Amino acid sequence: MRDRETYSRILREALESHTGFLATWSVWEPNALDARDEHFQNAAGHDASGRFVACWHRAAGEPALVPVNGYESPDEGDWYWIPKRKLSHCHLDPIDYRFGDLHVRITSRISPILVEGRFCGAVGTDFKAPDSPPVRTTGKASGAARAPAYSLRDSRLAHLSPREVEVLHWLGLGKCNDEIATILGISPHTVKNHLDHMFQKLGVHNRHEAILASQTQMQKA
């Protein structure tokens, strides 16, 4: 029988033995590890589903174990769904990474876990991006989620979904719809839908007004 504590220990040992690693993690499909998810609901390295979603990180200095979140849908968890769809290794461009309220810019190397050709989960290693600013701490870290690290509760940006914030981020860097689609692993049509929703929430009419509105809101926050 596969032992979850052993799997978690392997992730921690890999983190501790490689000083260049920021985090090591693994996310398994429902009941794919040992068919015992119901016994591990909200245990260390697990969420309410009981799935093994352990992440060992050193964002705050010492190794800490948190559950990965944001993997449930392609919209939020493309970093999980890309290897799931392609059944191959992938390397993600720098994104803002959030361990609870600890923010840092990272790159990731992710591999699918295949058992007899069937996708059972993914395992990944995160690295701090060379241009990453210092980690910002605004509270206790409770989980690991890949999403832009904006914390603008009193601005219109706070109403954007995590994916819309990602699209806005790349929009502000001058990327066209096709480039954003490639970066995020989604279709240009989906990018356009996100832009339409974003324009409505920001009260703007085009991409240039959206960029200006986001810059204004960030200055106010």
Q: Residues 140, 160: one domain?
A: no
pTM above 0.95, yes or no: no
Asked whether residue 190 falls in the same domain as residue 169, the answer is: yes
Assess if residue 54 is contained within a domain.
yes
The answer to the question of residue 91 being in a domain is: yes
pLDDT band at 221 (very low <50, low <70, confident <90, very high): very low
The residue that leads in pLDDT, 145 or 83, is 83
pLDDT at residue 59 greater than cutoff 70: yes
Residues 77 and 130 in one domain: yes
**Domain holding 67: CATH number?**
3.30.450.20
Same domain, yes or no: 39 and 117:
yes
Examine the fold and report which residue of 146, 166, 197 is the final residue of a domain before the chain moves on: 146
Q: Give the three-class secondary structure for 123.
A: strand
Return the closest-CA partner of residue 141 out of 220, 85, 62. Answer: 62
Q: Which is more confidently placed, 3 or 75?
A: 3
Q: Give domain status of residue 94, yes or no.
A: yes
Q: Tell me, yes or no, whether 92 and 19 share the same domain.
A: yes
Q: Is 211 helix (H, G, I), strand (E, B) or coil?
A: helix
Q: Are residues 49 and 136 in the same domain?
A: yes
The pLDDT of residue 220 is 44
Residues 136, 27, single domain; the answer is yes
Q: Which of 146, 169, 201 is where one domain is finished?
A: 146
Same domain, 122 and 50: yes
Looking at 146, 165, 185, the residue that finishes a domain is: 146
For residues 17 and 61, state if they share a domain.
Answer: yes
- Rounded distance between C-alpha atoms, residue 128 and residue 108, angstroms: 9
- Indicate whether 60 and 13 sit together in one domain: yes
User: Is the residue at 151 inside a domain?
Assistant: no
Which band of pLDDT confidence, cut at 50, 70 and 90, is reported for residue 131? low
Number of structural domains (the chain) is: 2
Instruction: Answer yes or no: do 17 and 119 share one domain.
Output: yes
Q: E-strand spans in 54-147?
A: 54-57, 64-69, 90-99, 102-115, 118-128, 136-137, 144-146
**Separation CA 171–CA 208 (nearest Å):** 9
Same domain, 65 and 31: yes
Residue 147 near residue 96, CB atoms below 8 Å: yes
Range of the domain at 108: 4-146
Q: Which pLDDT belongs to residue 133?
A: 53
Q: What is the pLDDT at residue 149? A: 41
Any idea what the CATH number is for the domain that residue 180 is in? 1.10.10.10
